[in-house]
Amino acid sequence: MKLEGKRKIWNEYQKEIADDKYFYVRSCIRQAVFPGSENTYLRIMRDVLKKDVHESAHHTTCTGIGYHTEVVPFETIQTVVARNFALMREAGYENYTPSCVTSFGIYTEVLDTWHHFPEERKRTAEYLKKATQRDFQEPGNMAHTSDIIYKFRHQIAEKSKYKLINKATGLPLKVVDHIGCHYAKMFPAKGIGGAEHPHVLAGLIEAFGGEVIDYPERRHCCGFGFRQYFIKANRGYSIAASKKKFESMEPYQPDLILTNCPGCNFFMDRWQYALAEMEGKTYDTKGNGIPVLAYEELAGLMLGFDPWEMGLQMHQVGIETLMDKIGIPYNLNEKYKGAKGEDLGVPESPRNINFYK
Amino acid sequence: MIDFGFTPFAAGVTDLDKANLSLAKQITEHEPSFNLCISCGSCSATCTAGQFTKFSFRVMCHQIRKGNTTLAIEEASKCMLCGKCTLICPRNVNTRNIIRLVRKAQTTTP
């Protein structure tokens, strides 16, 4: 194929991403399990890129978890989504940027529903008016926060102190990307690169000088299928899905797993611990596990943010191995200290996976 | 080891490069309609023997294609050869003959 033709086709896989003035909505899971990651995103956007990012204390969950587990009906979720859109317009913004991939899928699904079934939109507007006296309008532009980081990846890379290069060997670090299923598998046109060639994380890895590893189960689910995980009897399916991915990436010995979905980040991280405790196996050669980072955590590390300020101690698999390879300094004495230097307590050590403390 | 109350389920993946597919090959040679099966399950839904045992013709076909010869032979032994599955099959697969060939393989397999 001619390069010109390739470029033309690739253009069809792009999406429009707003340049500034974002309305930011947080993720339920991330605030619970990786509370520093969203703060890191805001630091990058406001302090490094000097962008206007607004968040409302009144915004709520998208109720995606309740929806996917059939607890919350579709009428309810549409009204909740409409309320969050109303808050955005009231604040004077039109570019909606959810932090969660599940939420991104929910918003996309609801917008698509309203497009094809205007009567659903009309009914939702009535429900919203009745319940909150609010009116709403659809966003002018909607992008996941990983899209935003992707858009500014070269600017971030230019300002970065570090690169994804092994300090000892001078070779690029090997990184596997894992993109949340609800990012582009449901509505391919809404993701950069669609469902077949998602580039949202690979582009970031390349910008930081790392090597993207293409492994057989790259597009496989992380294991956080809602119905698999939330019912304990089905959790064997969840951990089996993660195990399949780890076994598939193991021969390539990756230095890092990069994710853009809160659930994937959590499961790729925590299931490594659970598998180590169940089966005594880790998927690296030294018993440390493979570090897992979200896109803004990686960007923050590259920019030289303090790892403990970003909350990287909340990850089950230690990030220290990665920082050692890149040559990022860190102080283990401050790992479990709060913002004011208070002692947060050191967690119990796992038995089968190395733990830095 | 810690008991979390659940363990990873074994993956049902078959490595087709390593699987023994001789039975599938033998059946296809003698009964080419085996390849017409779309696994719709009409055979299993109508199966008389399946009312009384866990026999499923569809599952047996899967075992044959995955190279699980022993399991396939075990399944075939439950069939009563009534032929209802042959009548119902939307693809005109000669199901009775497939059962017969699997049983024949039982006698020829060492």
Domain coordinates in residue numbering, chain B: 22-108
pLDDT digits over A50-59, tens only? 999 999 999 9
Cα dihedral B26→B27→B32→B35 (10° resolution):
-110
- pLDDT 10s digits, B72-102: 999 999 999 999 999 999 999 999 999 999 9
pLDDT higher at A283 or A233: A283
What is the CATH topology of the domain spanning A22-145? Glutathione S-transferase Yfyf (Class Pi); Chain A, domain 2 (1.20.1050)
Contacts of A240 in chain B (CB under 8 A): 8-11
Q: State mean pLDDT over B62-72.
A: 93
A232-273 pLDDT per residue, tens: 888 999 999 999 999 999 999 999 999 999 999 999 999 999
Q: How far is B14 from chain A (nearest CA, A)?
A: 13
pLDDT above 80 (res B11): no
Task: State yes or no: pLDDT of B110 exceeds 60.
Answer: no
User: Are the beta carbons of A243 and B1 separated by less than 8 Å?
Assistant: no
Q: Which of A236, A243, A351 sits opposite B6 (nearest CB)?
A: A236
The answer regarding whether domain A160-334 maps to CATH 3.30.2090.10 reads: no
- Cross-chain Cβ contact B8/A232 below 8 Å: no
Interface A-B, measured as beta-carbon pairs within 8 A, has a size of 35
Nearest to A244 among B1, B4, B11 (CB): B11
H helix runs in chain A, sequence order:
3-11, 28-33, 35-43, 64-68, 74-90, 101-116, 118-132, 145-151, 153-159, 181-184, 202-207, 226-229, 235-249, 262-279, 295-303, 320-326
The domain limits of chain A are 22-145, 160-334
Check: CB of residue A160 under 8 Å from CB of residue A240: no
Chain B residues with CB under 8 Å of A239 CB are 6-8
User: Of all residues in chain B, what percent carry a pLDDT higher than 90?
Assistant: 75
pLDDT tops 80 at residue A357: no
Q: Is the pLDDT of residue A341 over 90?
A: no
* Residue numbers in A near B11 (CB within 8 A): 240, 243-244
User: Any CB–CB contact under 8 A between B110 and chain A?
Assistant: no
Q: What is the dihedral of CA B59, B61, B64, B69, to 10 degrees?
A: 50
Question: What does the pLDDT read at residue A258?
Answer: 98
For the stretch A140-189, pLDDT in tens is 999 999 999 999 999 999 999 999 999 999 999 999 999 999 999 999 98
User: Is residue B109 predicted with pLDDT exceeding 70?
Assistant: no
ipTM: 0.74
> Residues, chain A, total?
357
Has this prediction a pTM greater than 0.90? no
Same fold, A22-145 and A160-334: no
Task: Tell me the mean pLDDT in the region A78-98.
Answer: 97
- What is the sign of the dihedral through the CA atoms of A230, B10, A287 and A160? negative
Q: Which residue of B has its CA nearest to A239?
A: B8
pLDDT in tens, A17-63: 999 999 999 999 898 899 899 999 999 999 999 999 999 999 999 99
Assigned token pair, A111? 């917008």
Sort residue A304 into left (φ over 0), alpha (ψ -120 to 50) or beta. Answer: left
Interchain CB distance below 8 Å, A236 and B9 = yes
Test A233 with B6 for CB contact under 8 angstroms: yes
